[in-house]
Structure 1
């Protein structure tokens, strides 16, 4: 994956106020960044409970602190401080509920590296959350879990209804497609069970789970159970993500291998034409699949989402700009210059879901990039 220079806020100007709208957020999706911040929002009647965990990847970047504040819009340069700068890398805080939308901003500063990173979440009074998942007493901050561990729902004072959906959901259609992936207008519930507020439960079956107090309301929270995830390690898991770079005939042959490594390798070798290119192709492609699963898992696997698809095919964008209703990704490298708009399309299963605005203008560039993949020249 290509790496690009990013514009950071240097410590000397950390106190300088700036609007969230003007920041290049490509660092959010860059696995080489020294820090990232996982945030989980829980809306209650009178307050937001916020759980967070700072992931620290670089031992040379030290002296980290986190300061929390709120703003009323992306155009505001600063807002009232909720929690003063603290060295705690994980924990929780509480923010009062407002009748209007607020933005919760976390500023992570490294005193030694003289850098700062801004992360924010939208505090929408209509956010459909009334509980959260814990494992071994710790809040689960990501939208996917394993099925071989016990979990518990917190924040509930009455029995909860858990609905399981086995729907596999389609992979995203290409950027030039005029049609969206077909999703049933009404999801069929495959099984339902009830859990008590203080009861551990298991979710052994893969798929989408929705936890609710009342199944007739637009309240609740969802999570996915995946066994081989976010990094795909089993041969039978590898065929599906190739849908973006294979012909229909190649894809069908990969699906038919059903765990037969020799047959699988033969198809991949037929795509790249060279054993070394095949190795590089597999290594790079599935690293991007893994990252797409980490960054973009929604009601379906991250690699199947629109943002996940673009991330896999085109890589890390040089620029990511966030607006109240969309994200804009800009690619400005030597091979192609192209932009993608993702419009926010919230659902009960994922309040932060995004959908790509597709256009035929992407056709030529799409096939040129796919050709680079197939010749291991990405």
Structure 2
């Protein structure tokens, strides 16, 4: 693909059809835009020269980097954990850490497999004086699936009361506490099994679709996707993404707007425009989840 040097913006749109169910998916990516400082001059690959085309990498996997300009690249590791997003109706801004720990992992040679052993996120650069680079989010071996009881407890925060969540966090045996949590919520063991399966299926899809430097489930878009399900309409703009849902039992629509924010680590960083107006529909949808009735 050749882009004229005079272009100050360029985008690619790709349509794919799942031949099993005839579902069509539309993907888009910036090639040149205000949200991309500069494309890195190197590429990342799995084994057998398969391009690294995911938004995450499972910890302990390796990548091979190729470059026509350099024999080595630089790698930085960020171990910081981030809080889960606030509900859509919470308009008070959360506290944001003013500093983050950065570990210089040194340089490594291109054309040699490089393991990424720790969970967190890495930033790989050819020129450390430039903003150009590749962010690689690393997660557990089972990601995008959930692998530990501790992870499950964090993920059910969206449909839990504060007291319920604090009780789960403090539980000595988290598996038993979670089992009791789901059964107490549904009052039916079989219904609880169905609810668990559906909820964590949403979490898995959110991880696949929305992971940036945070796990997909812990992003604003991931939170809305898990609770509300896939939107009926999606509109992409340069500086925002808009999701539209049809309200249950009415002809009205609910719109969630995610503002795109410049971020050196990823061009796909979105934050929800929060409003107290979301409170009725959000509580209604969470109540449906807790009663074992998904609204999508």
> Is the TM-score greater than 0.5?
yes
Structure 1 residue 213 and structure 2 residue 126: aligned?
yes
2:9 and 2:127 mapped to 1: Cα distance? Answer: 25
CA contact (8 A) 1:176 1:360 kept: yes
Aligned partners of 1:356, 1:342: CA distance in 2, in Å? 4
Please name the residue that 1:122 is paired with.
30
Q: TM-score, normalised by structure 2?
A: 0.87
**Are 2:59 and 1:147 equivalent residues in the alignment?**
yes
Structure 1 271/355 Cα, relative in aligned 2: closer, same or farther at 3 Å? same
Q: Give CA-to-partner distance per residue, 1:195-216, whole Å, 9 cap, x none.
A: 1122221111100111112334
Q: State the partner residue of 1:352.
A: 268
Q: Structure 1: 5+ residue runs without aligned partners?
A: 1-92
Question: Which residue pairs with 1:370 in the alignment?
Answer: 286
- 2:45 matched to which residue of 1? 134
- Report how far residue 254 of structure 1 moved: 2.1
Deviations 1:58-99, CA, capped at 9 Å, x for gaps? xxxxxxxxxxxxxxxxxxxxxxxxxxxxxxxxxxx5545543
Q: Assess, with a 3 A threshold, how the Cα gap between structure 1 residues 98 and 223 changes in structure 2: closer, same or farther.
A: farther
Q: Is the 8 A contact 1:97 1:125 kept in 2?
A: no
* More displaced 10-residue stretch of structure 1: 280-289 or 235-244: 235-244
* CA drift at 1:362: 0.7
Instruction: Give the drift of 1:110.
Output: 9.7
Quote the Cα distance in structure 2 between the aligned partners of 1:219 and 1:347.
12
Deviation at 1:269, TM superposition (A): 2.1
SS of structure 2 residue aligned to 1:339: strand
- Which residue, out of 160, 172, 184, partners 1:270? 184
Match of 2:144 in 1: 230
Aligned to 2:214: 300
Which residue does the alignment assign to 1:71? Answer: none
Within 5 Å, which residues of 2 pair with 1:43-54?
none
Partner deviation per Cα, 1:172-228 (whole Å, 9 max, x = no partner): 111011134443233211452321122221111100111112334311110111113
Aligned residue for 1:250, secondary structure, equals helix
Structure 2 CA distance, aligned partners of 1:167 and 1:182?
15
Whether the 8 Å contact between 2:55 and 2:208 is mirrored in structure 1 is no
Match of residue 7, structure 2, among 73, 77, 99:
99
Measure how far apart 1:235 and its partner are. Answer: 2.6
Alignment of 1:145-224 (within 5 A): 145-155=57-67, 157-224=70-137
- CA RMSD across the alignment: 2.5
Residue number in structure 2 paired with 1:280 = 194
Which structure 2 residue ranges, 5 or more long, are not aligned? none
TM-score (norm 1): 0.69
